[in-house]
Amino acid sequence: MLDWSSSLQGLAGGVLIGLSAVWLMAALGRIAGISGILSALVLERPKGDTAWRLTFLLGLISGPLLLTALGAFGNVAGQPGAVIGAPAGGVGLMLVAGLLVGVGTGIGSGCTSGHGVCGLSRLSPRSLAATVTFLATGIVTVFVVRHLLGGGA
- Please state the closest distance from residue 141 (CB atom) to another protein, in A: 3
Compare residues 45 and 87 and give the one whose CB is closer to another protein: 87
- Please state the closest distance from residue 27 (CB atom) to another protein, in A: 4
User: String of b and e for 92-121 (b: at least 16 CB within 10 Å)?
Assistant: eeeeeeeeeeeebbeebebbbbbbbbbbee
- Please state the closest distance from residue 45 (CB atom) to another protein, in A: 13
Query: What whole-number distance in Å separates Cα of residue 25 and Cα of residue 114?
Result: 12
- Please state the closest distance from residue 52 (CB atom) to another protein, in A: 3
Query: What whole-number distance in Å separates Cα of residue 48 and Cα of residue 54?
Result: 12
Compare residues 45 and 94 and give the one whose CB is closer to another protein: 94
Q: In this structure, what is the dihedral angle of CA atoms 61, 67, 71, 72, given to the nearest 10 degrees?
A: -150
Query: What whole-number distance in Å separates Cα of residue 83 and Cα of residue 104?
Result: 27
